[in-house]
Amino acid sequence: MYQVSKTQPEDWVYVSEGGATIVLAYAGLPNADFDGKVLRLRKTAISNTEESQLTDEPDDPTIAFQHGIIAKLIPPQHLPELEVVLLDAAWLKVLSDLRDVDRPVTRRQKDRIDLTRRKGVLATDLIGTADLAVEIKPKWGFLPTPTHLSPSTVSVKTQTCRFCRHNYLRSNKGKDIPSTYCPLDLYSGNRERVAKAVHDLWSGWCASDGSLNNCRLFAKGKMVKMSDPSAMKLLSESLATEGELSHLESSFTNAILDLLIDSPVLRTISYLQRSLDPLDIEGLATLCRRSHHTASELASTFSTLASGVPEPYFSDWEDFIHVFKTRYSSWDHTVPNCDHLKHYLMAYLLSATFKDCSIILRPILPSGKSSSGGTVTIIDLDVKSMGSLAKWEKLDREIVEFYREVKEPKRCVDARIA
Ligand SMILES: O=P(O)(O)O[C@@H]1[C@@H](OP(=O)(O)O)[C@H](OP(=O)(O)O)[C@H](O)[C@H](OP(=O)(O)O)[C@H]1OP(=O)(O)O
Ligand SMILES: Nc1ncnc2c1ncn2[C@@H]1O[C@H](COP(=O)(O)OP(=O)(O)OP(=O)(O)O)[C@@H](O)[C@H]1O
């Protein structure tokens, strides 16, 4: 097994992070085990002072989930390789102290590397030294079918997509900047609409100085922000474009547009999101209630029902994938069968994984200098928890209620029915 202590903490440079993990790339002396790899480490809240009680820590669940479940849905050329790597407490502490300064302040105030972990994930470095790598978090790529929506939500949810409504809520709460990006444009496969999505992502990237998580740019391995002249220079060099920002945008669009349209990846993600969520969270909650028989259970909320559902074992996931690939499409989702509740819950969980993943594009650039051009790879395919169902139902209600007040709702066009 790989051991991180065979390298120096100084060999690892900060790449980026999300809500749950922090990612560092190997930049030390040539080493066959670590060259071209990133280290993905779990984070913990800074307030958490708990000691790990585990003597034999399990591997990060993302590894088995990707190898055994995701790999049955996504071809290997669109996935990074993932392996277990053994960690060392003292080594991690040095790394954490060394690289904390590179992290965004907002993240630093909330969390830090979990020093109690003894295992991490070693993954293919998809950013590396590529002239240009573009990371996009596309989010939800479909409008729900009206069948299971309540009269009070149906018009809102079938007109405006979940991302646009969520962005409206978050920007009104001051948690996000307003964005014109609509995932349905990106997923549409239509050249003009995909170009519009790229333009909107670029505008959001400029306006937020690269702090939005929907679009991140990396030039020669370095994350680019408008406020960082040296990184902007690298971007200009990679795109072989000098001068005005509009010229840079147009080279950027040209670099990734064909890749986005020609690659099957977005189509696959949206197909999986949609087909794994045929009931919407509302229909799923109704099915949960119908599946219980006593009066008190019937009256109970989705959250109490969901909290009574145990987390699936790996064997449950294997069983689910078999059902999904063989029988699931023949079920009548307009009248869901209570006997299928467990599989509908698992389908929703898997849909949530695909609603929250990101893609990394490494385009072939006109300069032709890129050694690994023309790839689209999906990252962050972590398994979601049954414990999140209550949160999702509550958030869904909050988003839809807030959007109901909008005088001129945005009309998002789902490619499937356009
Ligand atoms: O609910 P959403 O759509 O806001 O997604 C959450 C993400 O927010 P986003 O809207 O992409 O900024 C959120 O991303 P950030 O932390 O905002 O980068 C997480 O990915 C979160 O997943 P988890 O709960 O940590 O497993 C995501 O939560 P899940 O819905 O996947 O549980
Ligand atoms: N294989 C990889 N190669 C290069 N960079 C990567 C790789 N995997 C992840 N990253 C970078 O690290 C960041 C954090 O990774 P990831 O999205 O998996 O974290 P997360 O905490 O699960 O995110 P989220 O909060 O969105 O669920 C990514 O946004 C990306 O910039």
Rounded distance, CA 36 to CA 124, Å?
6
Q: How far is the CA of 28 from the centre of ligand 1 (A)?
A: 32
Alpha-carbon 172 to chain mean position: 23
DSSP letter at 381?
Answer: -
Helix residue ranges per DSSP H, 7-152: 61-68, 89-99, 105-110
Which pLDDT value is given to residue 44? 96
CA-only gyration radius of the chain, Å: 22
Interface confidence, given as ipTM, is 0.97
How many contiguous H segments (helices) and E segments (strands) does the chain have? 16, 12
Pocket test for ligand 2, best of 22, 140, 380 (most atoms within 8 A of CB): 380
Residue intervals of the chain classified under CATH 3.30.200.110 are: 2-125
Q: Which residues contact 62 (CB under 8 A, 6 or more apart)?
A: 82, 121, 381, 382, 383
Rounded distance, CA 108 to CA 46, Å?
8
Which pLDDT value is given to residue 301? 46
Q: How far is the CA of 410 from the centre of ligand 2 (A)?
A: 30
Rounded distance, CA 188 to CA 181, Å?
13
Q: What is the pLDDT along the chain (418 residues), one digit of tens a residue?
A: 899 999 999 999 999 999 999 999 999 999 999 999 999 999 999 988 776 666 688 899 999 999 999 999 999 999 999 999 999 999 999 999 999 999 999 999 999 999 999 999 999 999 998 999 999 999 999 999 999 999 999 999 999 999 999 999 999 999 889 999 999 999 999 999 999 999 999 999 999 999 899 999 999 999 999 999 999 999 999 999 987 899 999 999 999 999 999 999 999 999 999 999 999 999 999 998 888 644 344 444 444 445 566 899 999 999 999 999 999 999 999 999 999 999 999 999 999 999 999 999 999 887 665 455 599 999 999 999 998 998 999 999 999 999 999 999 999 999 865 4
Rounded distance, CA 6 to CA 4, Å?
5
Beta-bridge partners for 132: 219
- Report the SS3 class of residue 318: helix
Which pLDDT value is given to residue 131? 93
Reading the block at residue 241, the tokens are: 């474009």
Considering every ligand atom shown, identify the ligand nearest to the alpha carbon of residue 360 and give its number.
Answer: 2
Query: Please, what sign has the CA dihedral across residues 41, 46, 52, 58?
Result: negative
- Report the SS3 class of residue 21: strand
Q: Is the CB of 388 under 6 A from ligand 2?
A: no
Domain 2-125 carries which CATH code? 3.30.200.110
pLDDT tens, 212-231?
Answer: 999 999 999 999 999 999 99
